[in-house]
Amino acid sequence: MGMVGLSLIPMQITRIVGGTLVVFLPLAIAWLIVQSQGTVMNSGDRTLRFPTAVWRRTVSLDDIHDANCQVVYKTALISIIDAFNKPKRQSRPKRQYAVNLSGEFGSRQLRFGSKKRRDQFLSVLREYTHCRVTRWT
């Protein structure tokens, strides 16, 4: 009787792993598709589309009232390269440039990898909206 119980364990593990893959694999694919499209501003229909968790949010440009900037230091995750390389000195946290948007839709923080991209976004935002833009850094 003990042998029968032990032989069922691999089946249960296979069922759990298979069920987990069925749930999380489509979510991971959806997340990759949504994040890869990035932030898109459409001047024709005056909308801003940006990624959230596993879907895209669309906001009218007229609903954006305020945009302010800040620098965010990302230290929680390390890159794959840093994981395999053994740095001789302590690595610095990664700097990201953020724009905090607020308006009738609520608030949302958009992050950019470079200051140039953030400033390009703010220039286009200024051109197509009447929102107040504040630069902290």
Task: Walk along the chain (137 residues) in steps of 10 and give the mean pLDDT of each run.
Answer: 56 74 84 86 89 86 91 68 61 84 91 91 88 78
Confidence (pLDDT) at 102: 93
Domain ranges of the chain: 61-134
- From the list 99, 91, 137, 92, the residue with the least C-alpha distance to 118 is 99
Confidence (pLDDT) at 14: 75
Level-2 CATH architecture, domain 61-134: 2-Layer Sandwich (3.30)
**What is the distance between the alpha carbons of residues 60 and 13, in angstroms, rounded to a whole number?**
48
To the question of pTM greater than 0.75 for the whole model, the response is no
